[in-house]
Chains A and B, each alone.
Chain A
Amino acid sequence: MKKRYKEIALILILVGTFLPLLPSSAASSVTITDDVGRIVRIAKRPMRIVSLAPSITEILFALGLGDRVVGVTSYCNYPPEVLEREAEGKITVVGGFTNPSLEKIADLNPDLVFGHNLLPPEFIHNLERINITVVVISTANSIDGIFDDIRLIGEACWEEESASKLITDLQEKISNLETAVEGADKVEVAHICWMKPIFIAGAKTYVNDLIEKAGGINVFSNKTGWATISKEELVKADPAHIIVPYKHGVEMIYEELMKMKEEGLIHGQIHTMDPDIISRPGPRVVLALEKIINFLHPEVWSKMLAVTDLTVQSSVTVGESAVIFVEVKNTGELGGVKTASITIDGKILQKNVTLNAGESKLVVFTAEMKKPGVYTVSAGGKVATLKVNPVASALIVNASMVLSVISIIAIVILAVALIKRTSRTK
């Protein structure tokens, strides 16, 4: 099936390259070739869009086209706006993933329907038969595939610009995360998405890409696609980390693996993850990647934060504690306990801070300064100086403090005496 599509696609590409040479091809319509090689002409800017896959829904909302989506599947639950708009009656649920209702889609009178490659071909045909424009998006099996999907969806919606903006944004975030784990030791990982039989993510899945980018080695990269393995193979591979989906209804996978671990068959850490995040090749790929980094390299992840401000007292006296204010921001998509650190004259101070995604917090460090001098304080690329004064100035401070205490006592005594006198005269 796919070979033929490729041929058709090739012909279309050839035709496509010569089409712009024709004089009358004005920009009044968009013609695209979808993932199964169908040529689709989209005559006007789509304003009533139906998405038949949760990942496509996520992409549409990430492109800012949420207000143009009129129909989704019952599995589309992200972003929360989808459910809100469903409750408001602005979005209709047209059915499940592989068996949506044709009638409901037709009733929405959509100008664009995004289908996927797991829908039966007859289903697509039936939509075409009633003159509904359908673009078929294949489930991406690599991170680049997600970008291709976003690009195609953007083109089909006449929103190429926001699509390329979203892609650049995601690419930048992903490469930042990749850079962060660059130095870390590679660890062995498996992603198990089903037990009985055991299904794992092999090569040519986007989870495989995620594992590699997160500083891991997929122990089952010798398999292709979503493949089944036997328990023996899992025991033999015995990866250091196993990532499993976990939510209501699929607890079995985690429990089975924990049982295997108790029996001493496997020894790796078992990490659980919301299947909606790891199984949908959509814009939450960044969150998925960060989560996997958090599993595989927690020490790297906990240090991934930005220092937005560094304030140091202008001067302190020897023997006193210097107070250093560091404002840190979790620039990632995942919340949790992070480690903020500062360096004073080569000495590293660390403090744990709980940060939600995108949250900023002020972390206060105190350091007892024993020697006078000028110190350099640095944190996350920001630098400040701290002056530690010798004892003399400290004495002055102490003297003034003693003086003020004495004067306060004197005032109190005077006040008491005054009150007593006035009461006696009465």
Chain B
Amino acid sequence: MPSKRLLKWRATVTYLILLLFLSLILTLAIGPVYISPTEILEVFCWKIGILNSPPRKVYVNIILQLRLPRILFGFIIGASLSVSGMVMQALFRNPMASPYVIGVSSGSALGAAIAMNMLPSIIGIYTTPAVAFLTGLFTLILVYNLARVEGRLRTDTLLLAGIAVSYFFSAIISILVWIMAQERHQIVLWLMGGLWGADWIKIDVITPITFIGLAVTYMFAKDLNAMLLGEETAQSLGTNVELTKKTLLVTSALMISASVSFSGMIGFVGLVVPHVMRLLVGPDHRILIPSSALAGGIFLAWSDALARVLMEIPVGVVTAISGVPFFIYLLKRRRSVRSL
């Protein structure tokens, strides 16, 4: 029986990886500027040296410098958001949990708002993401210490501390938005999130963080399964509950902070993709982690492709509008199956 389950898991992951590649190819062809498949192929052939005559310079730029980084960025950020959302839901045993409940994202947002308004651009355009990342980490330390009682990390306190801190930081952001007249546009735009800012340097920075984060999370897959039964039970099943909580909290926070710093607060992905995957592949984290990562990436890349075409509307709008009906459909179907 276990081998059959393993085969099923392998099939799921294989399908999702195939879907990922298919999405990469298809979304490359989606954008406000129409570039025919043959021309896209020419660009890549020229890039890897098969084709000698260079294709139109404009298309090379659009494909290799604008579209490809955005799609890869979507894969990576989608993966880190949905996996960290999944971790939060498991740690707090709360279906409402999303990557943004622990307050790290509000910390990053506050850092970004401050950087946009007050700080000189020390390291050029990367000042805002860098400051956002650092304030995200600072928030993690703050929330972590607030939630630690006698050396133990209590999940209920963590949830409350996270929410309290994020409300507090949101209030400060509101003050900044209120005071600043000129930069208001920028902050609001940043808060809504988007992948249009993607470039290769950002991808170089975020890829290792995300991959390490995913790997670490995967190592704790079995412990997360145990945690679903409650902390005491998990402890009695041989899980080091404290270590699991602390490690996963820090890894998720790193991933969230990195993605929020680079792409703003893209909502919905981290909340709903894990639920959808739980409905589709089951609650076992050994399959849930890789499939959530892949599905989150695919979903965000497609949503961003749509945002590109629709006059660059915030990608969070696209994720919510396109994802919610599907999610409700799944919920409904599950309920009817249950009632049978």
Chain A: residues with CB nearer than 8 A to chain B?
A: 1, 3-4, 74, 95-104, 106-107, 109, 117-118, 120-126, 129-131, 139, 199, 225-228
B306 CB to nearest A CB, Å: 13
Secondary structure type dominating chain A contacts: mixed
Which residues of A are found within 8 Å of B121, using beta-carbon distances?
A: 1, 4, 121
Q: B197 touching A123 by the CB < 8 A rule?
A: yes
A130 with B66, Cβ < 8 A, contacts A121-B121, A225-B181, A227-B181 known: yes
Interface residues as binary, B310-335 with A (CB distance below 8 Å gives 1, 0 otherwise): 01100000000000000000000000
A107 with B58, Cβ < 8 A, contacts A125-B125, A125-B199 known: yes
Confirm or deny: B238 has a beta carbon within 8 angstroms of a beta carbon on chain A: no
Of A3, A100, A129, A227, which contacts B120 at CB under 8 A? Answer: A3
A129 with B199, Cβ < 8 A, contacts A118-B185, A120-B186, A121-B121 known: yes
Q: A95 touching B311 by the CB < 8 A rule?
A: yes
Q: 17 extra interchain contacts, Cβ-Cβ under 8 A, other than A95-B312, A117-B182? A: A1-B121, A95-B311, A96-B311, A97-B185, A98-B186, A101-B32, A103-B32, A103-B33, A106-B61, A109-B57, A109-B58, A120-B190, A124-B125, A125-B124, A126-B65, A126-B199, A226-B181
Q: How far is the CA of A139 from the CA of B183 in the complex (A)?
A: 12
Confirm or deny: B55 has a beta carbon within 8 angstroms of a beta carbon on chain A: no
Q: A99 touching B312 by the CB < 8 A rule?
A: yes
Q: List 25 A-B contacts (CB under 8 A).
A: A1-B119, A4-B120, A95-B311, A95-B312, A99-B194, A103-B308, A106-B61, A106-B62, A107-B32, A109-B57, A118-B183, A118-B185, A120-B197, A121-B125, A121-B128, A122-B125, A122-B197, A125-B199, A126-B66, A126-B196, A129-B65, A130-B62, A130-B65, A130-B66, A199-B181
Which residues of B are found within 8 Å of A3, using beta-carbon distances?
A: 120
Q: B196 touching A118 by the CB < 8 A rule?
A: no
Q: How far is the CA of A131 from the CA of B60 in the complex (A)?
A: 12
Which residue on A lies nearest to B118, using beta carbons?
A1
Which residues of B are found within 8 Å of A124, using beta-carbon distances?
A: 125
Chain B: residues with CB nearer than 8 A to chain A?
A: 31-33, 57-58, 61-62, 65-67, 119-121, 124-125, 128, 178, 181-183, 185-186, 189-190, 194, 196-197, 199, 308, 311-312
Which residues of B are found within 8 Å of A102, using beta-carbon distances?
A: 66, 196
Which residues of A are found within 8 Å of B62, using beta-carbon distances?
A: 103, 106-107, 130
A103 with B31, Cβ < 8 A, contacts A95-B312, A109-B58, A126-B199 known: yes
Which residues of A are found within 8 Å of B183, using beta-carbon distances?
A: 118
A123 with B196, Cβ < 8 A, contacts A103-B66, A103-B67, A130-B61 known: yes
Q: How far is the CA of A227 from the CA of B178 in the complex (A)?
A: 9
Which residues of B are found within 8 Å of A225, using beta-carbon distances?
A: 181-182
Which residues of B are found within 8 Å of A139, using beta-carbon distances?
A: 182
Q: How far is the CA of A88 from the CA of B65 in the complex (A)?
A: 30
Which residues of A are found within 8 Å of B196, using beta-carbon distances?
A: 99, 102, 123, 126
B273 CB to nearest A CB, Å: 25
Which residue on A lies nearest to B31, using beta carbons?
A103
B194 CB to nearest A CB, Å: 7
B203 CB to nearest A CB, Å: 13
Which residue on B lies nearest to A93, using beta carbons?
B311
A91 CB to nearest B CB, Å: 15
Q: How far is the CA of A95 from the CA of B311 in the complex (A)?
A: 6
Chain A to chain B: the 3 pairs with minimum beta-carbon distance, closest first: A107-B33, A130-B61, A122-B197
A99 with B189, Cβ < 8 A, contacts A118-B182, A227-B181 known: yes
Which residue on B lies nearest to A197, using beta carbons?
B178
Which residue on A lies nearest to B312, using beta carbons?
A99
B95 CB to nearest A CB, Å: 33
Which residue on B lies nearest to A117, using beta carbons?
B182
A127 CB to nearest B CB, Å: 10
Q: How far is the CA of A104 from the CA of B66 in the complex (A)?
A: 11
Q: How far is the CA of A225 from the CA of B197 in the complex (A)?
A: 29
Q: How far is the CA of A117 from the CA of B182 in the complex (A)?
A: 9
Which residues of A are found within 8 Å of B124, using beta-carbon distances?
A: 121, 125
B182 CB to nearest A CB, Å: 7
Which residue on B lies nearest to A108, using beta carbons?
B58
Q: How far is the CA of A101 from the CA of B67 in the complex (A)?
A: 11
A228 with B199, Cβ < 8 A, contacts A100-B312, A106-B33, A126-B66 known: no
Q: How far is the CA of A130 from the CA of B60 in the complex (A)?
A: 9
Q: B186 touching A118 by the CB < 8 A rule?
A: yes
Of A101, A125, A130, which contacts B312 at CB under 8 A? Answer: A101
A165 CB to nearest B CB, Å: 31
Which residues of B are found within 8 Å of A99, using beta-carbon distances?
A: 189, 194, 196, 311-312
Q: A104 touching B189 by the CB < 8 A rule?
A: no
Which residue on A lies nearest to B189, using beta carbons?
A98
Of A101, A123, A129, A227, which contacts B311 at CB under 8 A? Answer: A101
A40 CB to nearest B CB, Å: 16
Which residues of B are found within 8 Å of A131, using beta-carbon distances?
A: 61
Q: How far is the CA of A104 from the CA of B33 in the complex (A)?
A: 6
Q: How far is the CA of A74 from the CA of B310 in the complex (A)?
A: 13
A373 CB to nearest B CB, Å: 66
B18 CB to nearest A CB, Å: 27
A242 CB to nearest B CB, Å: 20
A116 CB to nearest B CB, Å: 10
Q: B32 touching A104 by the CB < 8 A rule?
A: yes
B70 CB to nearest A CB, Å: 9
Which residues of A are found within 8 Å of B31, using beta-carbon distances?
A: 103
Which residues of B are found within 8 Å of A129, using beta-carbon distances?
A: 65, 199
Looking at A74, A102, A120, the one whose CB has the most chain B CB atoms below 10 A away is: A102
A187 CB to nearest B CB, Å: 26
Q: How far is the CA of A123 from the CA of B196 in the complex (A)?
A: 8
Q: How far is the CA of A74 from the CA of B183 in the complex (A)?
A: 21
Which residue on A lies nearest to B121, using beta carbons?
A1
A98 with B125, Cβ < 8 A, contacts A3-B120, A109-B58 known: no
Which residues of B are found within 8 Å of A199, using beta-carbon distances?
A: 181
Which residues of A are found within 8 Å of B182, using beta-carbon distances?
A: 117-118, 139, 225-226
Q: How far is the CA of A177 from the CA of B229 in the complex (A)?
A: 80
Q: How far is the CA of A111 from the CA of B264 in the complex (A)?
A: 31
Q: How far is the CA of A1 from the CA of B190 in the complex (A)?
A: 18
Which residues of A are found within 8 Å of B186, using beta-carbon distances?
A: 98, 118, 120
B65 CB to nearest A CB, Å: 5
Q: B312 touching A96 by the CB < 8 A rule?
A: yes
Which residues of A are found within 8 Å of B178, using beta-carbon distances?
A: 228
